[in-house]
Structure 1
Amino acid sequence: MTRSHRWLRLKILIRAELLHLTTINASDRRWQMPFAAALASGLPLLVGAYFEHMDYGLISSLGGLVFLYLPETPLHHRMVSLMVCAFAMIASYALGVMSHLFPPAMMLVLTFTAILVTMVCRFYNLGPPGSFFFIMAAAIGANAPGDVLQIPLKVGLLTMGCLLACLIAFFYSVYMLRSQPAKPVTPLPPPTFDFVVFDSIVIGSFVGISLALAQALQLTQAYWVTISCLAVIQGMSLRAVWNKQLQRLIGTGVGLLLSWGLLMLPLDNWRISLVMIALAFVIEMLVVRHYALAAIFITPMTILLVEATTLVQSSPSALIEARFLDTILGCLVGLVGGICLHSPRFRQLVGRQIRRLAPARQAD
């Protein structure tokens, strides 16, 4: 191959990558949904700021993220679906919080949670964000400091956040269904072993590997590595995994600059709450259009969600540097996991071993 041909192929490849990175997807999402989602995760923060217990508000705010699982189906179906998702969020967070008391078992608990939650989400064909926020809640809970007596308090606070999200979802649904007809409940597709079982085991295993690497490197907030890995590996194809990795790295890089600017401001509890509400609204407006743009705002949102109570004691520069390194590590693990997940040879070799462990009627 001549040099001119290699240069031409390189230009075509670069042009194709730029096209994937700059394509803005169309969306029919109305502003009411991002506004209601921002209220679901933001009101607990305002309550926490009022009572000067921002740590309580942050935990309840994490539960408010369950609003994002609200489907566009008839009222009875969407509310039952959301309450089931709320239970899954509570259970995932509870397992994560309890695993914090036994650090050697933390990786096994998170791996088990990721596998089980992903299986259930795929079996019931749960749409985006899929298992992401359930595993995120487990990872944050596993890395939250505390003792055994604080477990009921933390789980109760997250439960209250989930209940508030369900209440907001009910009134939002009643209002929206007056002007926008509900989508029909689609029948579940027949589950397959590869999609439900094999993929879930691979995703959960690499989530556990990312946490193990973070622990081995003694990273202060291992949850960030886990979240970055999960966000990348969940792509439905190898191209989707690659795009997600690039978009998350670029969006996180710009988002860290935004985070650094925000952390340099004189933030108190009220300002942090209002900033997080604004970020939640912008994220839900952008995430269905372009993931990299949304990641710019996801980064400071996630940092504040976990670090808001310790901002005074930590250096913004050190915090930003640590989160960037965590993101690179998580994306690399997620990319390796995505390559394995979408490799026919890997699926054949490993899938054969997994099928031997499954009951005969479930291995079809």
Structure 2
Amino acid sequence: MTENGKWQRLRVFLREELRQLTTVRQSDRPWLMPFAAALCSGVPLLVGAYFGRMDYGLISSLGGLVFLYMPETPLYHRMVSLMACAFAMIASYAFGVISNLLPPVMMPALTFTSILVTMVCRFYRVGIPGSLFFIMAASIGAYSPGDILQVPLKVGLIAMGCLLACLIAFAYSIYMLRRRKPVKVEPLPAASFDFVVFDSVIIGAFVGISLAVAQLLQLENAYWVPVSCLAVIQGMSLRAVWEKQVHRVIGTVIGLFVSWGILSLPLDEWRLGFIIIALVFVIESAVVRHYGFAAIFITPLTLLLAEAPTLGQVSHGALIQARFFDTIIGCLTGFAGGICLHSPGFRRVVGRQMRRLIPGGLFGPG
């Protein structure tokens, strides 16, 4: 091939990449849904600000994220699904908090939680965001300092956040179902070994590897490393994994400048709560249209959520630098996992060995 031909192919490739990364998708999501989601995460923080306990409000606000798992099915189905997800959120956070008490088991505990939650989400066909927020809750819980006597308190706080989310979801559903016809509840398709077991084990393994890398590098509060890894590796194809990684890295870099601007403001507990409400509203309005744009605001949101109780005690530069390295390590690990996950040779060799550990016929032939 001539030099001109190679240059032409490169230009076509770069043009296609730019088109894919700048495509804005259409969405019929009503504005009330992002607003309700913002209330689920923001109200606990405002209550915490009122009582002077932002640390308690932060834990409850994590439970509010369960609102995002609400399907568009009839009321009886969506509320049962949401309450099941609330239980999973509480259990995931509890696993993380308990693992904090035994640092040597933190990585195995997060790996096990990632595998188990991903299996359940895939078996029951839980839609986007999938296992992401369950693992996020477990990861933040794993880096929450405290003693064993605080475990019931923390688990109770996230349960209260989940309860608030269920109540807001019920009110939202009563209102919206009068205006929109619900989606029909479809029977679950047959569970296949590859989709439910193999993928879940590989995803969980690389989430654990990302945390192990963060621990080897002695990163402090590296809860965002496994979350970034999972966000990237969950792509349904290698193309989707690559696109999500690029979106996340570019969005994070821009989001760090946004974070710097927010942290430079004269923040108190009340302003912080309202800023988080605004960020959640923008994210949930944008994420279905363009993930990279939403990632710009996901960065300051996660930084503020995790650091709210200690805001002002650590320099802004140190927080932003830590978040940048966490994202890079998580994305690179997730991309490596995505390559393995979508490699026919890897699936054939590792899958054959994995099948020997699973009872025959448990997940059908596929």
* Normalised-by-shorter TM-score class: over 0.9
Q: Distance in 2 between matches of 1:218 and 1:311?
A: 22
Q: Distance in 2 between matches of 1:272 and 1:297?
A: 14
Q: Distance in 1 between matches of 2:325 and 2:129?
A: 24
Q: CA RMSD in A?
A: 0.6
Determine the structure 1 residue equivalent to 2:61: 61
Q: Distance in 1 between matches of 2:264 and 2:32?
A: 31
Q: Which structure 2 residue ranges, 5 or more long, are not aligned?
A: none
Determine the structure 2 residue equivalent to 1:193: 193
Q: Which has the larger displacement, 308-317 or 208-217?
A: 308-317
Determine the structure 2 residue equivalent to 1:243: 243
Q: Distance in 2 between matches of 1:70 and 1:360?
A: 34
Determine the structure 1 residue equivalent to 2:170: 170
Q: Distance in 1 between matches of 2:221 and 2:249?
A: 18
Q: Distance in 2 between matches of 1:97 and 1:170?
A: 29
- Cα distance, 1:322 vs. partner? 1.2
Determine the structure 2 residue equivalent to 1:84: 84
Q: Which string of whole-angstrom CA distances, capped at 9 and with x for unpartnered residues, describes residues 186-221 of structure 1?
A: 111111000000000000000000001101111012
- Cα distance, 1:362 vs. partner? 2.2
Secondary structure (helix, strand or coil) at the match of 1:227 reads helix
- Cα distance, 1:181 vs. partner? 1.1
Secondary structure (helix, strand or coil) at the match of 2:361 reads helix
Q: Distance in 1 between matches of 2:134 and 2:276?
A: 20
Determine the structure 1 residue equivalent to 2:220: 220
TM-score scaled by structure 1? 0.99
List structure 1 segments (4+ residues) > 6 angstroms apart after TM superposition.
Answer: none
Identity %: 70
Q: Distance in 1 between matches of 2:277 and 2:46?
A: 10
Which amino acid counterpart does residue 2 of structure 2 have in structure 1? T
Which amino acid counterpart does residue 117 of structure 2 have in structure 1? V
Determine the structure 2 residue equivalent to 1:287: 287
Q: Distance in 2 between matches of 1:183 and 1:326?
A: 38
Which amino acid counterpart does residue 101 of structure 1 have in structure 2? L
Q: Distance in 2 between matches of 1:65 and 1:235?
A: 21
Q: Which string of whole-angstrom CA distances, capped at 9 and with x for unpartnered residues, describes residues 158-210 of structure 1?
A: 00000000000000000001111111101111110000000000000000000
Is 1:23 the counterpart of 2:23 in the alignment? Answer: yes
Q: Distance in 1 between matches of 2:14 and 2:337?
A: 24
Which amino acid counterpart does residue 321 of structure 2 have in structure 1? E
Which amino acid counterpart does residue 55 of structure 2 have in structure 1? D
Q: Which string of whole-angstrom CA distances, capped at 9 and with x for unpartnered residues, describes residues 138-169 of structure 1?
A: 01100111111110110000000000000000
Secondary structure (helix, strand or coil) at the match of 2:312 reads helix
Which amino acid counterpart does residue 76 of structure 2 have in structure 1? H
Q: Distance in 1 between matches of 2:47 and 2:292?
A: 31
Q: Distance in 2 between matches of 1:17 and 1:147?
A: 49
Determine the structure 1 residue equivalent to 2:253: 253
Which amino acid counterpart does residue 2 of structure 1 have in structure 2? T
Please give the residue correspondences for 1:1-364 in structure 2 after superposition, counting only pairs within 5 Å.
1-362=1-362, 364=365
Q: Which structure 1 residue ranges, 5 or more long, are not aligned?
A: none
Secondary structure (helix, strand or coil) at the match of 1:313 reads coil
Which amino acid counterpart does residue 352 of structure 1 have in structure 2? R
Q: Distance in 2 between matches of 1:357 and 1:144?
A: 35
Secondary structure (helix, strand or coil) at the match of 2:345 reads helix
Which amino acid counterpart does residue 58 of structure 2 have in structure 1? L
Which amino acid counterpart does residue 174 of structure 2 have in structure 1? V
Q: Distance in 1 between matches of 2:362 and 2:187?
A: 20
Q: Which string of whole-angstrom CA distances, capped at 9 and with x for unpartnered residues, describes residues 4-63 of structure 1?
A: 111111101100110111000100000010000001111101100000000000000000
Q: Distance in 2 between matches of 1:345 and 1:156?
A: 46
Paired positions, count: 364
Q: Distance in 2 between matches of 1:176 and 1:350?
A: 46
Secondary structure (helix, strand or coil) at the match of 2:311 reads helix
TM-score scaled by structure 2? 0.99
Q: Distance in 2 between matches of 1:149 and 1:216?
A: 29
Q: Distance in 2 between matches of 1:33 and 1:63?
A: 17
Which amino acid counterpart does residue 154 of structure 2 have in structure 1? K
